[in-house]
Amino acid sequence: MKKTVFEVQQLLKKFGMIVYTGSRLGDLELMEEELHELYEMKMIEQELYLEGRMILKAEMQKERDKNESNN
């Protein structure tokens, strides 16, 4: 059961995927795409995919809110 973005990163790392774009929001979006690909290829279970996606979506929203408040 994944609870943090770090844990999602570690899951992706197990499959050789290291995400770093230099943009927090960009990283999160790319991680979501990679997670989706793992699920589509049946390499992770649906529950794990949905948990990871939920974590990433929540974090993306926090980033967007933070960016909007800074502008």
**Matching residue, tokens 């059961």:** 1
How does pLDDT run across 10-29, given as a tens digit for each residue? 999 999 999 999 999 999 99
- Angle, helices 24-40/5-14, rounded to nearest 10 degrees: 50
The answer on pLDDT for 70 being more than 90 is no
Contacts of 27 (CB under 8 A, 6+ apart): 19, 20, 21
List domains and CATH numbers for the chain.
5-64 (1.10.287.760)
Mean pLDDT, rounded, of the chain: 94
How does pLDDT run across 27-41, given as a tens digit for each residue? 999 999 999 999 999
Q: What is the pLDDT of residue 71?
A: 72
Q: Are 34 and 12 in contact (CB under 8 A)?
A: yes
Q: What is the pLDDT of residue 1?
A: 58
The answer on pLDDT for 2 being more than 70 is no
DSSP classification of residue 2 = -
